[in-house]
Structure 1
Amino acid sequence: MLIGYARTSTLEQEAGLEAQKRDLRAAGCEEVYAERVSSVAAERGKLQAAIKFGRKGDTLVVTKVDRLARSAAGLWDIVQELEAKGVSLRVLNLGGDTVDTRSATGRLILTVFAGFAQFEREMMLERQREGIAKAKAEGKYKGRQPTAQAKAEKVRALAAEGMSMGQIAAQLGIGKGSVHRILTAKSADQAA
């Protein structure tokens, strides 16, 4: 059985997630697991569910290496977990070819492309850091605007109306933790 896995990091990448799911289904995946989560910081529950679902002889399919892992070491940790279950990995978009870890050639090609993916990510982060440093030196970098703090008065008003933190977060489109920080900061200010 072919099991698909699709991932994007943010809600803004919805079109990319839909394209991955479309490509996975076109490749013959009977089950497709999809999630919006960073591959670096967060736990990827759908990936773990896909791996758990896999049985001996199945193949986990992804569209690109970077949808699965950000480093060559991280990729090989996943490959080893799959291989321990008798599940192989197939990557669809490697220069127009499909790579499958069932063969030695496939594992070699995957290793090379995983190295390139990691290199590409590190170079992008380096350019980003350089750009931020240059913008700061020129006085142009302001950083990300604090979206939750801009809604602090509305948060307090909704809390005064009796809404829960979860309801406030959902209504205003901010995180529940941000709502909690705003409300506890107010409490701390009043206590002082």
Structure 2
Amino acid sequence: MPNATIAAPLVGYARTSTAEQEAGLEAQVRELEAAGCSEVFKERVSSVGERDQLAAALKYLRKGDTLVVTKVDRLARSTVHLWEIVRDLDAKGVGLRVLSLGGEVVDTKSATGKLILTIFAGFAQFEREMMLERQREGIAKAKAEGKYLGRKPTARAKAGEAVRLHQEGKTVTEIAKALGIGRGSVYRAIGSSPVSRA
């Protein structure tokens, strides 16, 4: 009886930013599982935040495995970051599959595979930069029209509550902890000097 070919394990990684909906993360997980991933690491973290689950996935991978992601920008925050990951995968003998590239395994050891990854990572980075530029232009336009309110100052919004707690005999440290604001903000709210209360 001929030996059956054993498929290399597929390990998925899914990520959405903290601002995105949970449904987006679950959609990625479903797509990865449909692609045959036996294990999926997932997390909600900003593009610049620490990616604990990505680190766990990279540690979990073994020679012959394939890391699968739905899009390049779910994996890496920039072209440089992508190449750091590719370098680490290559050193471990691990392949990379990007589903948005048609589901083909991108051979990071070949010149063609490296070219494809560079191009798509560049597009993903360009897209993010364009989005940020449009956001900045929108804010500038709103400010010019007097429509931009900005982020509501949390500490200022809680000033009244800080004063009330101070009048009840709470210390500055207790007030800051209760309201989730800095001690300096509490001092400003109650009109005290930093040396007046502990």
TM over 0.5: yes
Instruction: Summarize the Cα distance change of 1:150–1:54 in structure 2 as closer, same or farther, 3 Å threshold.
Output: same
Residue 106 of structure 1 aligns with an amino acid whose one-letter code is G
When normalised by structure 2's length, the TM-score is: 0.76
Q: Deviations over 1:110-133 (max 9, x none)?
A: 221111111111111111111111
Work out whether 1:135 is the aligned partner of 2:142. yes
Partner residue in 1 for 2:4: none
Equivalent of residue 13 in structure 1, options 7, 21, 26 = 21
Work out whether 1:89 is the aligned partner of 2:100. no
Partner residue in 2 for 1:35: 43
Alignment identity in percent?
A: 64
Partner residue in 2 for 1:101: 106
Partner residue in 2 for 1:185: 185
Q: Deviations over 1:44-99 (max 9, x none)?
A: 111000001111111111111110113222111111111111111111113xx124
Residue 85 of structure 1 aligns with an amino acid whose one-letter code is K
When normalised by structure 1's length, the TM-score is: 0.78
Partner residue in 1 for 2:78: 71
Residue 71 of structure 1 aligns with an amino acid whose one-letter code is S
Unaligned runs of 5+ in 2: 1-8
CA contact (8 A) 2:176 2:186 kept: no
- Cα distance in 2 between the residues matched to 1:33 and 1:138: 45
- Cα distance in 1 between the residues matched to 2:158 and 2:93: 51
Instruction: Summarize the Cα distance change of 1:13–1:186 in structure 2 as closer, same or farther, 3 Å threshold.
Output: same
Larger radius of gyration: 2
CA contact (8 A) 2:175 2:186 kept: no
CA contact (8 A) 2:16 2:25 kept: yes
Partner secondary structure for residue 67 of structure 2: strand
Q: Please list, as runs of the form range in 1=range in 2, the aligned pairs for 1:109-124 lying within 5 A after superposition.
A: 109-124=116-131
Offset at residue 152 of structure 1 (A): 6.0
Instruction: Summarize the Cα distance change of 1:9–1:148 in structure 2 as closer, same or farther, 3 Å threshold.
Output: farther
Partner secondary structure for residue 21 of structure 2: helix
- Cα distance in 1 between the residues matched to 2:39 and 2:10: 7
Q: Supply the RMSD in Å over aligned alpha carbons.
A: 2.8
Offset at residue 35 of structure 1 (A): 0.7
Partner residue in 2 for 1:58: 65
**44-53 vs 124-133, greater mean Cα deviation:** 124-133
Structure (1/2) with the larger helix percentage:
1
Work out whether 1:46 is the aligned partner of 2:53. yes
CA contact (8 A) 1:62 1:68 kept: yes
Offset at residue 11 of structure 1 (A): 5.3
Aligned residues: 176
- Cα distance in 2 between the residues matched to 1:33 and 1:76: 20
- Cα distance in 1 between the residues matched to 2:158 and 2:65: 48
